């Protein structure tokens, strides 16, 4: 089940900072670059995406995360809030995410090696860490009554947070036996859903390399090779 959230939470923000270094180059809040700390483009890409989600921005900028913190104050959540505040309320065109990078690196040293990492894997670690810090334990219905049969309606224990409300989804499977036609149901909770991106065109590495040389892909293969060799 997906949750829908309003995207009007940032209407009260002034689109311009209080102090403008250059009137000819206005700095819009939230439109802030992140400094590369050495092969950390994967981290910057994820932080840019997270800091563009309106309900998440409102949650951290309003200070709501402070009341949700567990007894042990999370350095990761605090550092994340610091970076988001700097991006939205600061007056710089570019900020350094080093404080967040360092905090997460203490828990997951692999991200401190200054080597390329998988962005999706990094996102999962970030979401899990924020959820564990901000979660609140309560009970809720696993499904809406109209969505599945009665025998699947039950109350389950669940730990909810701003992360689960914004990112959590649930896949429902129905498995039917071909012999007895007995139907069983299975559900799986996820925070990241990978989907294929359809493409109308097929492009091999060879054609991509030739295209980078400025060649017309409508030519024959022989023309490609001849034209490519003539450039060397």
Contact status, residue 35 vs residue 86, Cβ threshold 8 Å = no
CA end-to-end span of the chain: 57
User: What domains sit in the chain, N to C, each tagged with a CATH number?
Assistant: 1-195 (3.90.70.10), 199-232 (no CATH)
Residue 84: what pLDDT? Answer: 92
Give the pair of three-digit tokens for residue 68.
């949700």
Residue-level pLDDT, tens digit, the chain, 232 residues: 343 333 333 333 333 333 444 444 444 566 788 999 988 999 999 999 999 899 999 999 998 888 887 666 788 999 999 999 998 987 788 899 999 999 999 999 888 888 889 999 999 999 999 998 888 754 444 444 444 444 344 434 457 889 999 998 888 888 888 888 899 988 888 888 887 777 666 666 666 665 666 555 555 556 655 665 565 5
pLDDT digits (tens, 9 = 90+) for 162-208: 999 999 888 888 888 888 889 998 888 888 888 777 766 666 666 66
Question: Residue 85: which of 99, 104, 71, 106 has the closest Cα?
Answer: 99
Q: Is 17 left (phi over 0), alpha (psi -120 to 50) or beta?
A: beta
Residue 212: what pLDDT? Answer: 63
Tell me the chain's radius of gyration from C-alpha atoms: 24
Dist. CA 126–CA 84, nearest whole Å: 14
Residue 10: what pLDDT? Answer: 34
Contact status, residue 76 vs residue 100, Cβ threshold 8 Å = yes
Residue 103: what pLDDT? Answer: 92
């Amino acid at each position: 089940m997906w949750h829908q959230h309003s995207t009007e939470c940032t209407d009260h923000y002034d689109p311009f900072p209080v102090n403008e270094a250059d009137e000819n180059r206005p700095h819009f809040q939230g439109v802030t670059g992140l400094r590369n700390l050495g092969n950390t483009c994967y981290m910057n890409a994820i932080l840019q995406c997270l800091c563009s989600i309106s309900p998440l921005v409102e949650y951290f900028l309003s200070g709501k995360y402070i009341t949700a913190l567990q007894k042990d104050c999370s350095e990761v959540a605090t550092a994340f809030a610091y970076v988001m505040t700097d991006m939205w309320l600061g007056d710089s065109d570019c900020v350094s995410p080093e404080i967040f990078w360092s905090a997460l690196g203490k828990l997951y040293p692999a991200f401190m090696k200054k080597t390329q990492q998988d962005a999706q894997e990094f996102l999962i670690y970030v979401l899990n860490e924020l959820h564990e810090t901000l979660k609140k334990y309560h009970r809720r219905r696993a499904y809406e009554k109209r969505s599945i049969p009665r025998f699947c309606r039950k109350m389950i224990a669940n730990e909810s947070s701003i992360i689960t409300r914004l990112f959590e989804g649930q896949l429902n499977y129905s498995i039917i036996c071909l012999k007895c036609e007995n139907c069983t149901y299975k559900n799986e909770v996820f925070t990241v859903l990978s989907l294929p991106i359809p493409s109308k065109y097929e492009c091999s590495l060879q054609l991509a390399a030739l295209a980078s040389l400025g060649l017309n892909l409508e030519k024959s293969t022989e023309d490609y090779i001849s034209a490519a060799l003539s450039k060397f």
